[in-house]
Amino acid sequence: MQDIKLARTQSLLKEILPSALANLNDTRLNSLNVIEVKCSRGKYFAEVFLNAPFATQQEKAEILTQLKKARGIIKEYCLEETGWFRCPDFKFSFDTTLEQENRLDKIFDTLQKERESKQKGKNDTCS
């Protein structure tokens, strides 16, 4: 039962947070994608994973600084939208799994091409 409530809270936050970010006055924050929200068991803390493929590492650091400053406004928005008594404290971070997957895909493609070229080289020498 507890896990269902936690999943519901995470899902609702994942749905609400993009709207909260869109209401902020910073265009960099407006266009962030919320990938996932993970709440602690007691729902006191929530880690929000974001995606900003357009941003450099320096811009990402600036975005995280701005989000830290805007946490109060974001919490207030979530409280208004949900009618909750309290809202979790947010910790924002960028999701790196997509970047890791892309790097792995490139590595696998390179390995596959090397394998194919070696196979082709063996076939050419045998003919």
- Domain membership of residue 114 (yes or no) is no
Q: How many domains does the chain have?
A: 1
Least confident of 38-47, 76-85, 118-127: 118-127
Cβ contact 77:29 at 8 Å: no
CATH number of the domain encompassing residue 77: 3.30.300.20
User: Domain of 34?
Assistant: 2-95
What number is the average pLDDT over the span 13-31? 89
Q: Provide the pLDDT for residue 75.
A: 93
Cβ contact 64:92 at 8 Å: yes
